[in-house]
Structures are given as C-alpha cells and as structure tokens.
Amino acid sequence: MPVSEAFTVEPSPVAPPLLIPNTELTAAVLPEPETALPEPAAIHRRAVLMLLAAALFWSLGGVLIKWIEWNPVAIAGMRSLIGAALIWAVFRRELNIDGSFEQIGGALAYAGTVVLFVVANKMTTAANTILLQYTAPLYVILFSPWFLGEQVSRRDWLILLVMIGGMILFFLDDLTLTGYWGNIIALIDGFCFGWMALFMRRQKDGSALSSLLLGNLLAGAIGLPFMFQSMPDLSSWIGLALLGVVQLGLPYILFALALRHVRAVEGILIPMIEPVLNPVWVFLMMGEKPGAWALLGGAIILGAVMVRARR
C-alpha cells in the first residue's frame, strides 16, 4: 500500500452555516395574525343590544300575567323557579356560589325586585308601580361613584331627568294618588332594582349569574305557600312557562352579561324603554290604543334612550 494512501485523512464534514432568523425581515414578510378579540366599541355595542333585548322581553310581562289565572305572588314565585331552572341548565358550569357580600346582596335585591313589583301591582295602579319602580336610576347615579368607583356625568343626570319627564307624560292619564301603601312598596321596589344593578355590576369579573340563581330560588320560596291555594289550568301553565323563560330568565341573563361591559348607569337607563313597549303589546294583542300624552311621553323616552345608547 502506498504511504500516501495510508496517511490520507478524509476531510470532516462541514456543518452548514447557522441561520439566525431576521425578525425584522420575518415581520415584514409574514404579517401578524389577526386577533380574535372584538374592539371595545363592538363589545359595548353588543352589550347595549343585550340591554335593549332584555327590555323587550321584560315588556311582555303585562300581557303574559293577564293570561294567567292564579294568585299573583304564586305567579311571581313559579316564574322565578322556572327562571332558576333555565339559569342552572345553561350556566351550571359557570355558577359559583361563594356567599360573598356582592353575591348575597345581589340575590336579595333581585328577589325584592321581582316580588315587590307583583305586590305593588296588587295594591296600586300599574302606572304608579312602573313609574315608581323606575326611580331605580336615581339610586344608581347617586351610589355608583362610592360603591363602584364609576363617575357619573352631567349628561347622565340630564338624560335621567328627561326620561322621568317623558315617563310622567306617558302615564299621565293613569296616575293616581290612591293606593298609598302600594306606592310605598313600589318605591322600595325601585330601590331594590337600583341596588340589584349596582351589585350585578360589582360582580362584572365574578359570577353575577349566581346571584340571579339564588335570587330566583329565594323568590320561589316566598311564593311557595301561595301556590297550594289553587292550581292553574293548562293554558296558565303555558303562560307561566313563557313568563319564566322568555320574560324573566332570558332577559335577566342578558342584563347580567351586559353589565360586564357597560357602566351601571347605562345598564339601568337604557332598559327604561320597557314601559314604552308594554302598551305596544297590549295594542297588538287587545287593540287598546294609547292616548296623545302617552305617545308624546313615549317619543321622549325613546329619544333619550337612543341618545344614551350612543357611546
């Protein structure tokens, strides 16, 4: 064997040059993936639509309650139990019963709202009850800065005053000074409604739906003794199912979800369109036409809601 072949050393393989990625070049060639999160304006718009939908469903209450022949407190209790079943069925994985101050406070305020509204309707006129219930925004505006740290603008105060004026005109033909204790209960109902919105908003990062579940169960327990005085017929059971699902459960779910993304003042002012929608259903179902003052007041309320709905 030749000496040269014996001492021949094969060259070691040369490693390929290390490629260092050029981040600037990569960013220029490959665009950033689009984020799936909607813009804040879109989130706010969706929350406003939820509030308007909640008001629409709430406004069905007058027509549906007239459909049912049963004790009013029993109606309130049964529709709450049906609403609780809906919340449990849809959101049971999200529910978290922790017994916090906000959760219990929201449940008590909610139960007071739905039960006292029925009691006030029995003791005074429906017009008085609705008008006094919608003193709720006053409590929200007064306590939001302290309880939630959310400042209230002069625009909020102005819109509230315009809405109250429109509501007085809307119910002008039906308002009365009779039913003193019914009016007092309706005022307490408005207080509960306002604080329910405050407690729901304070749970925007928690589980406000749990407050709704507990509040519905409490309202159901209050109505339970009145359910055994008599039993509703099949037609009334259909009305109760619609009340519990469409008029109570669904709109309060929308209300709680919307309050995650709007201030409490918005959450309580925008649904003030509900009293205007109520006689619309009565007109469509029963042919009762609203008077001139009601039309003027309704137009004022609608205009104020549209202004407040704009961010």
Question: What are the C-alpha distances in Å from 11 to residues 8, 14, 36?
Answer: 9, 9, 54
The CA-atom distances, in angstroms, between 202 and each of 152, 216, 308 are 16, 19, 21
Q: What is the pLDDT along the chain (311 residues), one digit of tens a residue?
A: 454 454 455 555 555 555 545 544 444 444 444 444 455 888 989 999 999 999 999 888 877 877 888 888 899 999 999 999 999 999 988 888 988 999 999 999 999 999 998 888 778 877 788 888 888 999 999 999 999 999 888 888 998 999 889 888 887 777 777 778 888 999 999 999 999 999 999 998 878 999 999 999 999 999 999 998 888 888 889 999 999 999 999 999 999 999 999 999 999 999 988 878 877 776 777 666 667 777 788 888 888 888 777 75
Q: SS3 string of 62-82?
A: HHHHHHCCCCHHHHHHHHHHH
24: region left, alpha or beta (phi > 0 left; psi from -120 to 50 alpha)? alpha
Query: How far apart, in whole angstroms, are the C-alpha atoms of residue 96 and residue 113?
Result: 22
- The DSSP letter of residue 303 is H
Cα gap 67→69, rounded to integer Å = 7
pLDDT for position 286: 64
What pLDDT, on the 0 to 100 scale, is given for residue 101? 93
Check residue 311 and give its pLDDT: 59
| pLDDT for residue 299 | 85
pTM, two decimal places: 0.80
pLDDT of residue 192: 96
Q: How far apart are CA 78 and CA 136, in angstroms?
A: 25
Residue 134, burial from CB neighbour count under 10 angstroms (0-12, 13-18, 19+): buried
Q: What does DSSP assign to residue 205?
A: T
Cα-based angle 42, 147, 205 (whole degrees, multiple of 5): 45
CA-based Rg of the chain, rounded to a whole angstrom?
Answer: 29
Phi/psi zone of residue 55: left (φ > 0), alpha (ψ -120 to 50 degrees), beta? alpha
CB 211 within 8 A of CB 103: yes
Side-chain half-sphere exposure of 170, counting CA atoms within 13 A: 27
Determine whether 99 is exposed, middle or buried from the number of CB atoms within 10 Å of its CB (0-12, 13-18, 19+): exposed
Q: One-letter amino acid identity for 181? A: W
The answer to whether 294 and 81 have CB atoms below 8 angstroms apart is no
Distance CA(37)–CA(43), nearest Å, equals 9
Q: How many CA atoms lie within 13 A of 141 on its CB side?
A: 17
pLDDT at position 25 is 40
Three-state SS annotation for 257-277: HHCCCCCHHHHHHHHHHHHHH
Going by C-alpha positions, the residue among 180, 66, 79, 184 that lies closest to residue 135 is: 184
Residues 6+ apart with CB under 8 A from 45: 311
Specify the 3-state DSSP secondary structure of 55: helix
